Amino acid sequence: MKNIKFALLQLSCSEDVQVNQQKTEAKIREAAAQGAQVICLQELYRSVYFCHKQDAAYFDLAEVIPGPGTDTLLALAQELKVVIIASLFEKRSKGVYHNTCAVLDHAKGYLGKYRKMHIPQDAGYEEKYYFTPGDLGYQVFDSSYGKLGILICWDQWYPEAARLTALKGAEVLIYPTAIGWDNQETNSEINREQYQAWQTVQRGHAVANEVPVIAVNRVGEENGQTFWGGSFVTNAFGRVIYQASHNTEEVAVVEIDLDAQEQYRRIWPFMRDRRIDSFQDLTKRFID
């Protein structure tokens, strides 16, 4: 059995970047003290979710990757002998920015980055104003504790993204996330439906690809939204083995058997039975 302990840091954020950074570093230490080997941070952990509106001043939050920010996290990873998955606002060049995850490995150093491929645009989620769609493709990072497939938030809704990452050998899919309820929406049934859809589609990715899924969301109220927390982990067949609350900060350490993927794929051979000869139309917007 290849049992790896993953930590999910479900935290609230303030306008003060330094306060957020210090709190996150303290929680990373707390997770490592609990035995975590891979520590997963929420989407854009260093700031409030600034995409609630279009404001050019927020571009000042962006940083070069790799750079001083990832250097700080790498030093922490090396001290604690962990892998840190950090979601950051990347400045690629003047006028070109990405929503990016960096992977910092205590033994192997900076493993690289994944740039968010699917960029939403909706009321309260003005991401196309800030982020250029990713151009590095779907990636798997061969870390000291397993092959990590990293996707980001809006990527969660696309089975193609999960499939392509799984086909590259991911032993786990990890989704840093920032998603919540509009405070003007008071219908609890609608809110419940939204959360259930969000979790269900990701559990479907776990089942279809027979790979564990980790989704780590932020929590708390920011600019007219209540981020719904609810971070969770599934096993390699979609069974929820951990779920966080909707309204409190949590540091959870969850052990996952990465070798179980082999057993599920033997019993339910979805990967074997894929009719890849019939999938050409997936590259079309619609089929006429």
Tokens of 181: 């309820």
pLDDT at 288: 87
- Spans of the chain below 50 pLDDT: none
CB 88 within 8 A of CB 117: no
Q: For residue 286, is it within any domain? A: no
- Mark whether 43 is an active-site residue: yes
Report the relative pairing of strands 250-257 and 240-243 from DSSP bridges. unpaired
Q: Annotated catalytic residue: which of 13, 27, 43, 51?
A: 43
Task: Please compute Rg for the chain using Cα positions.
Answer: 18
The range of the structural domain enclosing residue 151 comes to 3-271
For the chain, what percent of residues have pLDDT higher than 70?
Answer: 100
- Mark whether 153 is an active-site residue: yes
Q: How many distinct structural domains can be found in the chain?
A: 1
Q: For residue 277, is it within any domain? A: no
pLDDT at 269: 97
pLDDT at 112: 98
Q: Annotated catalytic residue: which of 116, 127, 171, 210?
A: 116
Q: For residue 192, is it within any domain? A: yes
Q: Annotated catalytic residue: which of 13, 40, 51, 153?
A: 153
Nearest residue to 4 (alpha-carbon basis) of 260, 193, 247: 260
- Mark whether 171 is an active-site residue: no
Average model confidence (pLDDT) for the chain? 97
| pTM exceeding 0.75 | yes
Q: For residue 276, is it within any domain? A: no
Q: For residue 167, is it within any domain? A: yes
CB 208 within 8 A of CB 233: no
Give the burial class of 141: count Cβ atoms within 10 A of its Cβ; 0-12 exposed, 13-18 middle, 19 or more buried. Answer: buried
Q: For residue 262, is it within any domain? A: yes
Q: For residue 278, is it within any domain? A: no
pLDDT at 85: 98
CATH number at residue 183: 3.60.110.10
Q: For residue 105, is it within any domain? A: yes
